[in-house]
Structure 1
């Protein structure tokens, strides 16, 4: 996310921290500064594909964990299948 930081600094926020700010949370309406910061933050994230990068990295982590724990996950899947089958057997059909 290195490119994102310079993009934010060059924007309307002037490199100020984005996100939740106590001074903004106390206000009843968004200030022009808050709106400009939110717009700059959104534009920078879109320009640098932050959501796409986040998704790709998160997916890779999840795939690695699934592969590393496939046997345990299969045991859990079988237990869930058994529980569902038992629940169907004892639950009256309406």
Structure 2
């Protein structure tokens, strides 16, 4: 028995996707079925999903990597960390 999946996308995306897939000899429904079959086959997404972190997150990731590489931390205890924070939750300089 077949089932139905509904999703909302913009008219522009639908038009663009339909144009591309028609050039490949596929309908949108056929492409979605192929994608879902590949998900099952690979037991995950059949492509890499990446996301660029925000500048703030990227800086935090770099800082974390620096700490790991140098095997040091800003604080050696929870008490030292709490004392190093001012009332705004930011580290005192």
TM-score, L = length of structure 2? 0.30
- What is the TM-score of this pair, normalised by structure 1? 0.30
* Greater RCO structure (CA 8 Å; 6+ sep): 1
